[in-house]
Structure formats: structure tokens, C-alpha cells
Amino acid sequence: MNITLKQLRYFEALARHGHFGRAADACAISQPALSVQIKELESTLGTALFERGARQVRLTAFGADWAQRVRDILQAVDELGDMARAAQSGLAGRLRIGVIPTIAPYLLPGLIGALGQSFPDLDVHVRETVTQRLIEELHDGQIDTAIVALPVVEPGLEELALFDENLLLVRSEKDGAAPVPQPSDLRHLRLLLLEEGHCFRDQALSFCNLQSAMARDGLDGSSLSTLVQMVGAGIGVTLIPQMAVAVETRSARVSISRFADPQPARRVGMIWRKTNPMAAQFRQLGDVVRQTAMPLTQVPAPVAT
């Protein structure tokens, strides 16, 4: 039976995307070429791997069982390559980094430049999405490491804490001189939150001692930028991390205030598969992330009195 590694990668891409066009784009080949490879693979196996519909393809029962084995094989192959890279003194070659949306826009501009200076042979590919999806993609071998809010407490993943940053209160400009409310008082205000799935939403609710179902009025946003602009329009209040202040408040009529000590904070770090042999290189990467984040998380923010 002659099954190629390339065919396995094409199969995995199609199984993941459920669409020939998107899978072909992910594999950087034409859709007809992908289709030919999948048909040849099914012919070799003597059974169908996919049910083909007008708009979507779905795995057959055999294909679904086969998909998990294929992912294990591809992950093992990738880790063989990682073993060779781990023998090098520094980071080089392709590195797939996942970053959550409440970190990516603020950290990445400086981080990409810093990585280019520290590791000129490194080819960085960035994936921005929510924590749970990054965890799934780590387990599936689609990314190598991720920068997230800790802890994730996920079996099979290593965690490396990098830095802590405070969470700040965003109010409309006219409310900036008012006393900073206590956390318990925020439940009586119109608290704007990120939509379900963002870990920052859970952190804000935890700080305010609120249940998700108690969030008022269902005013959720898909980004911190949306929330800050809503506050500037006088709709409510929100929380943002320190690193987001400079970017998100430059075009909004809002005031930024610190809470009384102990201030709410989040811990940011990196995660990767425990089986990945590049732990030493990831720790080198973590040092660069920490250095890049330092000026973003330690710049004093205005304090309302």
C-alpha cells in the first residue's frame, strides 16, 4: 500500500476545513490537484473517506476513525523535525505561534520585530483566535506554541508564566473625575463584556464576582476596540488590560482608572505540548516575549481621584 505523507497532509486539511477550496488554499495547491490526491488515497485504501455534498464534504465513519490516526502520525512526523531543530542553539525555520485576541494586536507589532532581530532565520506564522481553539490546535499539531492567559490546566500541555498585567477601568470622559467604584459596584453599572468564548470575559466576570448569566443587557462585543468605543459613546463601562490602553484609547473619548489595591490582574504565558522537544527554544522565545511586553504593561495609566 503506497500512501504518501503529502496525501495524509491533504486528507487532514480537508477533514479539518470540510471544503475542498479552503483545504486547497491551506495546502497552497489548486483545488483540482487536491481532489486528485484525495481520490488516489481513497482508491489505495479501497474505501471512501468523505461524503461529498454540494457545499461541504463530511468524513465517512471510516474517515472519522482514520482522521485521528492520521493526526497522530503527522504530529509524530512534525516532532521528528522538531527534534532536529531542538539540536540547534537557537530558533530557526517555521514557527507557528497562536495568540489570543486580547494580546495579539498590542504585543505582536513589537514581538515580530524583536524575534527578527534575535532569530534572523526564524519564519514566524501567527494564528489569532480564542484560547480553547488554540488548545485544540496545539493538540492537533496545527500550531507549535501559544501565548494565552494562564492558567489553562490542560493535560498534555506545558505552561510557562511570563508576566502579569493589571486590568483597568474604562469609563466615559465625563465620568473620569468620579470616585473609582468598588468591584462589587460594577454589577450595578452597565458592564460591557467580550462575547462568550473569550477568557478575558471570564476574568472580568470573576473580578466583579458576577455569573455570566447576570451580565446586564447582553451588551457583548467581539473586540476590546468595540467595547471602548461603546464606552466612549456613553453606553457603559468596561475593563481592558494595561497593554491595550495606548492603542484602544487614542481615538475614544474615555477615561482610564486604576482600581484600589489589590488591583485585578491577569497572568500571561506560553503553552506547548509536553511531548514537543523544543521546550528550551520555547523558553528562549518566552524571554523575548517578556522583554517586549515589559514597556506595554508597566507604563503608568491615569488614575481617577
Question: Distance between CA atoms of 48 and 53, rounded to whole angstroms?
Answer: 14
Q: Which of 120-124, 158-162, 286-290 has the lowest mean pLDDT?
A: 120-124
Mean pLDDT of 209-222: 61
Neighbours of 1 (CB within 10 A): 5
| 14-57 pLDDT tens trace | 988 888 988 898 888 999 999 999 999 999 999 999 998 777 88
Residue with cell 477533514: 15
Question: Distance between CA atoms of 111 and 98, rounded to whole angstroms?
Answer: 13
Is 213's pLDDT higher than 50?
no
Q: Which residues of 293-302 are buried (b: 16+ CB within 10 A; e: fewer)?
A: beebbeeeee
Least Cα distance to 100 among 266, 255, 220, 277 occurs for: 266
**Secondary structure letter of residue 197 according to DSSP:** T
Is 134's pLDDT higher than 90?
yes
Contact indicator for 292, 111 with CB cutoff of 8 Å? yes
Q: Which helix (H) or strand (E) holds 232?
A: helix 224-232
Q: What percent of the chain has pLDDT over 90?
A: 46
63-72 contacts at long range (C-beta below 8 A, 24 or more positions apart): 63/15, 66/11, 67/11, 67/12, 67/15, 70/8, 70/11, 70/12, 70/15, 71/12, 71/140, 71/141
Highest mean pLDDT among 103-117, 198-212, 240-254: 103-117
Q: How is residue 10 written as a grid cell?
A: 491533504
Mean pLDDT of 52-80: 85
Question: Distance between CA atoms of 232 and 9, rounded to whole angstroms?
Answer: 47
Q: Which residue has the higher pLDDT, 76 or 171?
A: 171
Q: How much is the pTM?
A: 0.76
Q: Ramachandran region of residue 63, left (φ > 0), alpha (ψ -120 to 50) or beta? A: alpha
- CA distances 239 to 114, 169, 203, Å, are 28, 5, 10
Domains of the chain: 5-73 (1.10.10.10), 84-163+266-298 (3.40.190.10), 165-265 (3.40.190.10)
| 279-297 pLDDT tens trace | 989 999 999 999 999 999 8
Q: Which helix (H) or strand (E) holds 267?
A: strand 265-273
Is 278's pLDDT higher than 90?
no
Contact indicator for 33, 6 with CB cutoff of 8 Å? no
Question: Distance between CA atoms of 289 and 280, rounded to whole angstroms?
Answer: 14
Least Cα distance to 272 among 280, 264, 260 occurs for: 280
Is 68's pLDDT higher than 60?
yes
Contact indicator for 199, 224 with CB cutoff of 8 Å? no
| 89-100 pLDDT tens trace | 568 888 999 999
